Amino acid sequence: MSRRVVGVTLDNLEHLSKHSRTCVFWELAPHLKSQAEEYGDTEFEKEAWVSSVLLEWGSCGRIIYCDGIPAGSAFYAPPAAVPRSLAFPTSPVSADAVLMTSLEVLPEFRGGGLGRVLVQSVAKDLTKRGVKAIEAFGDAQPDEDQPGCVIPANFLLGVGFKTVRPHHRWPRLRLELRTALGWKEDVEAALERLLNTVTVSTAEPSFRPASAKI
């Protein structure tokens, strides 16, 4: 199975899942999110946010393809560009970090390490741009039956993030990028072998519990 990771642009937004295209949990302040969901167009709001961040800061997302099929995505941005980042009990994000807001692998592609590849791609991009760390708010109690907008905390811990501010539901976690770079060098060959043997499962739920490997 061939894999390819590319940056999110306005031209490939349509390759995101419907959930990723329309979720504005991070991109709008809570009251504006409610208004957009009730009266507006959340897909337009997501596109406007991506356009603004691309223009003012640069690449803010990654899409992974398997045999040419979009299989998942990840988004990240400076905390100042993410209104929701101030609404968590474990806020604020550290001043030297970029916030990874969301990461999704489609159900039929889960269990093959694609989520780890997305994190690796984000880490590589940000390391080149001189960023010191990635932080993320984790969901310690994700809903296994519904797609969520917050990354499961156990997944983040499994790919090298460390908890910097604990919480029973919304811990804040951090990945030092010098650590991520060393981790990449150490496991890249093994990961390549793993992904070369990926098989597609169609029996997965729409979203995995906190112990899921995405």
E-assigned strands of 49-160?
A: 61-66, 69-77, 97-105, 133-139, 151-152
Locus of tokens 């550290």: 94
User: How much is the pLDDT for 54?
Assistant: 98
Tokens for 81, please give them: 């560009």
Question: Which tens digits make up the pLDDT trace of 134-162?
Answer: 999 999 999 876 778 999 999 999 999 99
Q: Which of helix, strand or coil describes residue 125?
A: helix
User: How much is the pLDDT for 141?
Assistant: 93
In 3D, which of 95, 182, 76 has the Cα closest to residue 136? 76
Higher pLDDT: 190 or 79? It is 79
CA 12/CA 50 separation, integer angstroms = 11
Tokens for 180, please give them: 């991520």
Q: Which of helix, strand or coil describes residue 142?
A: coil
User: How much is the pLDDT for 143?
Assistant: 82
User: How much is the pLDDT for 182?
Assistant: 57
Q: Is the pLDDT of residue 204 over 50?
A: no
CA 203/CA 194 separation, integer angstroms = 20
Q: Which distant-in-sequence residues (6+ apart) come within 8 Å of 188 by Cβ?
A: none
User: How much is the pLDDT for 188?
Assistant: 56
Q: Reduce the secondary structure of 5-32 to three states and give it as a string.
A: EEECCCCCHHHCCHHHHHCCCCCCCHHH
Q: Is the pLDDT of residue 202 over 90?
A: no
pTM, two decimal places: 0.82
Q: Is the pLDDT of residue 214 over 70?
A: no
Average pLDDT over residues 68-74: 97
